[in-house]
Structure 1
Amino acid sequence: MNNPIGNLNKLFDSRIRLGVMSVLMVNEEVSFNDLKQLLEVTDGNLASHLNTLEENGFLKVHKGFVGRKTNTTYSITKAGEKAFKSHLAALEHMIKFMQ
């Protein structure tokens, strides 16, 4: 019997990382504050998950300024897009397998 969860990506087990990747798949770029508000998480919690995704090459960080305030935005990398699509395909396969 084939392991139905064998192809799931462990990095996306976290609902926050899953949320970040979902938002970035449909938006070219999203600011830290927008992600924080959308996902309803604290600064530290979001920063921790964003660091994990960045360290694994799944997102790019862009730092800049809006007026005098710093503005950090994030976008998905090709590797991140590929990994997330593979994870979604594995979820779909798992659901079909379990029927």
Structure 2
Amino acid sequence: MTLPSAWSSLTTSKQRYLSFHGFVQHARAGHLLGRLLTQQAAAAEVRVHEVGPFLLGHFRNMAETSEREQTRLAGRAARIGLIADGAGDSRPC
């Protein structure tokens, strides 16, 4: 493993770790909302209190936020990979 490749892997892993730490509560809340929206045991309460559209809106918003974060991380990983490939490719053509 070359130094640029190691740098790329470590940098990308660090960014994913930091993102996970920042989004762990977000992911837990999304999981809870998903259960409230899909489990039969919660269906009666959701209907009685008419909170289905409210919960669904929050769930959709959280899913979109998570998708944007995953897209951001993928873009950064691609840029870091390109930088590492460029720095590691010192062979003449």
- Structure 1 length-normalised TM: 0.38
Larger radius of gyration: 2
Counting helix residues as a fraction of each chain, which structure ranks higher? 2
Counting strand residues as a fraction of each chain, which structure ranks higher? 1
Bigger relative contact order, structure 1 or 2 (CA pairs below 8 A, ≥6 apart): 2
